[in-house]
Amino acid sequence: MNYVYAGYSVTFVVLALYALRVVLRGRALRRALPPADDR
Amino acid sequence: MTRPPVPRWVTRSLGLGAVGFSAAAVVFGLWVMGPTAEQGDYSRLLVVHPPVATYAYVGFGITALASILYLIPRTRRREWDLLAGASAEVGVVFCGLTLVTGSIWGRPVWGVWWTWDARLTAEALLFALFLGYLALRRVPASEEVRSRRCAIAALIAVLDIPVDHYATTWWQTLHQGSSIDLLQPDKHLDTAHNVGLLLGFIGLGLAFAWLVIQRYRVEKLEARYEQEGLDLALEARRAEGDIPSDRVGAPV
């Protein structure tokens, strides 16, 4: 079962970290830019 | 004030749905699905591996479609290029996960982490091609040149998808063919595996959609930052030193 746990862990941990990176990058850019009408 | 392309409640629902369905898929895959006669417990990886592989294709497919729309003068809009870039990045993450989860599955079932099998090689090539595409997006050039160059590169890279998909049919491969074929009634899974696979497809599909939308928003912000960033930096410098705007850049 260790391979199964590894497969599940890699998938969801990588996706969670990537999602966090995207959200944080978006927040940093929003802070750096003045508010715009198109958001 | 214009409306955002995707309302916030939609992205919130997608995010919550992704978490809920993915959690259900994990519970189902690890504790409800039983081992199979052919692969034992390793068939539980069916919940994650085929969905991530499929959504990698979807991501690159969106990139190709958006690139075509960018290249056609009548439909050319900057947004298509930004969507192509966002979708390619998410596709690369899913493609990388396909390679890793496939390797983790291959080790106990085939006895090797990696083999130069047609399907695996085509998948690795797809990953490398779209990594190259993402690198190309960062090569300095005017916005139009870069967008056009990337759109053409995406259309070349996407040609590997049919090769990858049909590799198990066209060549003798170690990788198995599709687990389900609706046209072949004898090619099916038991109910528990079908439900697990479906939950995996829904959970990871919602996660994929959420990521593409969020990444597209970031891509738009990055494009804005590229345009306005220098002006903002100059303004900040002016404010720091209290230099009148007409003096900035003047000889000392």
* Chain A interface, Cβ < 8 Å to B: 1, 3-8, 10-12, 14-15, 18-19, 22-23, 25-26, 29-30, 32-34, 36-39
B196 — pLDDT class (breaks 50, 70, 90): confident
Quick: pLDDT tens for B222-239: 888 887 877 777 777 777
CB-based contact B22:B52 (threshold 8 Å): no
What is the token pair recorded at B24? 């259900």
Domain limits, chain A:
1-32
Domain limits, chain B:
46-168+205-225
B4 — pLDDT class (breaks 50, 70, 90): low
Q: Most B CBs within 10 Å: which of A15, A21, A23, as the mutation test of the B interface?
A: A15
B160 — pLDDT class (breaks 50, 70, 90): very high
Quick: pLDDT tens for B35-75: 877 788 888 898 999 999 999 999 999 999 999 999 999 99
For residue A39, the model assigns a pLDDT of: 46
Question: B118-145 burial, b if ≥16 CB within 10 A, otherwise e?
Answer: bbbbbbbebbebbbebeebbeeeeeeee
CB-based contact B221:A26 (threshold 8 Å): yes
What is the distance between the alpha carbons of residues B70 and B82, in angstroms, rounded to a whole number? 10
B187 — pLDDT class (breaks 50, 70, 90): low
For residue B142, the number of C-alpha atoms closer than 13 Å in the C-beta half-sphere is: 2
- Nearest CB to A4 within list B45, B93, B221: B45
Q: How many residues are recorded in chain A? A: 39
- Element containing residue B75 per DSSP (H, E): none
What is the token pair recorded at B182? 């609706």
| ipTM value for the complex | 0.89
Q: Most A CBs within 10 Å: which of B27, B44, B89, B113, as the mutation test of the A interface?
A: B44
- pLDDT surpassing 80 at residue B188: no
Q: What is the mean pLDDT of residues B153-158?
A: 95
Distant-in-sequence contacts of B22-26, Cβ < 8 A, 24+ apart: B22/A12, B22/B203, B22/B204, B22/B206, B22/B207, B23/B203, B24/B199, B24/B203, B25/B196, B25/B199, B25/B200, B25/B202, B25/B203, B25/B204, B26/A8, B26/A12
B246 — pLDDT class (breaks 50, 70, 90): low
CA-based nearest residue in chain A for residue B200: A8
User: Which residues of chain B make contact with A6, given a CB cutoff of 8 A?
Assistant: 104
Distance from CA of A9 to the nearest CA of B (A): 10
Q: Roughly how many angstroms between the first and final C-alpha of chain B, as a whole number? A: 43
With an 8 Å Cβ cutoff, is B107 touching chain A? yes
Helix residue ranges, H only, chain B: 8-27, 49-71, 78-110, 118-137, 143-157, 160-165, 167-170, 191-241
With an 8 Å Cβ cutoff, is B101 touching chain A? yes
